[in-house]
Chains A and B, each alone.
Chain A
Amino acid sequence: MFSSTKMPFLIALTALLGFASCVEDATVGDSTVQAASDNKELTPAPDFTLKDVEGREVTLSDYKGKVVLLNFWATWCGPCKIEMPWFVEFQRKYKDQGFSVIAVSLDDEGWEVVRPFTDEYELNFPVVVGTNEMADEFGGVAALPTTFIIDKQGRIRNSHMGLAGRGEYEEEIEGLL
């Protein structure tokens, strides 16, 4: 059934695609994993409900109708700290236009370390503590920061693994508002 003169090419292509999905030196922190330009093949963001620092439930699907910047981070992640002040500014700038940041910490120690960080950085958006299972739902978060830009219909429009550019985020957010 696979007999064809084109088979060697197909084999090579399949191998390339398979290996390209692995995490390698060159790609960790350098890649925009997904950038969808049309509405045909967009992935719905997996829903979750987690508690914020005050114990209130944060449910992603409640944010339908808003553009969401969903950021996976941890207190021990240096590059994540660069982005946090940007996100504070985005929340301030775009909140009234139907936008929210949601930050998901993957710190093993949970609120014990996350609470002081949120105070120190004066985070003005929902912060929750995530789980490995939840990270799995998002395709496995291999490195931090990992950020998803979710449109008003709850679909993942862009994802970034590693430190991205502030202007890049702004362009994506403004394009969806």
Chain B
Amino acid sequence: MRDYSRPVAAVLLLGLASGALWAQGFSGGLRAASILPGPAVKLQPGKTAEVSVAIQIRPNYHINSNAPADEYLIPTRLTWEPSGLDWKKTDYPEAETVSYSFSDKPLSVYSNKIVIVSHFAVPESVPASLKELKGKLRYQACNNRACLPPKTVEVSVPVLSR
């Protein structure tokens, strides 16, 4: 007769872990958008650098654009920590205008894959220790029937300063 003690214990642990995922507070739970890894950005002293952040949004979900159509909605926003570079501006992709059954007016949203591009002025003396740019992406996602809590996730883009 086979001994199933080990697989049973493993499955029970797995079940408990998934239960714990369900039970975590409102700020936890499903992540509707993922930041895709990108190549390192080469920094040239005295020039500008474009830093692209690609985001994959889960199928059947959308996130609000940077300029949502409703004042109550939470815009998608990418911010950067001080790094020694001069953050000039960020270009957000063109939003889709989509009508949903839950809204009187069409909403300005992103879905599928989007790319946000930030522009930095690179000083003449870039610190050699600068290996990455760190930022935060804030977004809020919904599907046709429900919304997930707003999320703020860490963004890290590797840079080559020499």
Contacts and interface: CB of A to CB of B under 8 A. Distances in A.
Contacts of B23: 136, 139-140
A18 B148 contact: no
Given A1-B5, A28-B143, A15 B11 contact: yes
Contacts of A117: 72
B147 interface: yes
Contacts, number: 149
Interface size class of A (residues with CB under 8 A): 35 or more
A28 to B, nearest CB: 5
B18 interface: yes
A125 to B, nearest CB: 19
Interface residues of B, number: 48
B4 A30 contact: no
| Secondary structure class of chain B's binding surface, majority of residues | loop
Nearest to A8: B4
B107 A18 contact: no
B145 A11 contact: no
A140 B26 contact: yes
Interface stretch (A61-69, A77-85, A89-97): A77-85
Interface string B75-116: 000000000000000000000000011110001000000000
Contact of B8 (A7, A18, A81): A7
A106 B149 contact: yes
Nearest to B21: A22
Contacts of A10: 8
A90 B89 CA distance: 48
B147 A80 contact: yes
Interface in A17-39: 17-19, 21-25, 28-30
B22 A75 contact: no
B30 A28 contact: yes
A88 interface: no
Contacts of A24: 30
Given A28-B146, A142-B29, A76 B73 contact: yes
Interface string B133-162: 000000010111111111000000000000
Interface of B: 1-5, 7-8, 11-12, 14-19, 21-30, 58-61, 70, 72-74, 100-103, 107, 140, 142-150
State the 9 A-B residue pairs at the shortest beta-carbon distance, nearest first: A18-B15, A29-B145, A29-B146, A162-B146, A132-B25, A7-B4, A162-B145, A143-B146, A77-B147
19 contacts: A7-B2, A7-B4, A11-B11, A14-B12, A15-B14, A17-B15, A18-B19, A19-B18, A22-B21, A22-B22, A30-B145, A76-B147, A76-B150, A79-B145, A108-B150, A135-B26, A136-B23, A143-B149, A161-B146
Interface of A: 1-4, 7-8, 10-11, 14-15, 17-19, 21-25, 28-30, 72, 74-82, 106, 108, 113, 117, 132-133, 135-136, 139-145, 161-163
Given A25-B58, A28-B148, 10 more contacts: A3-B5, A23-B22, A79-B102, A106-B26, A139-B23, A140-B26, A142-B22, A142-B26, A144-B147, A162-B146
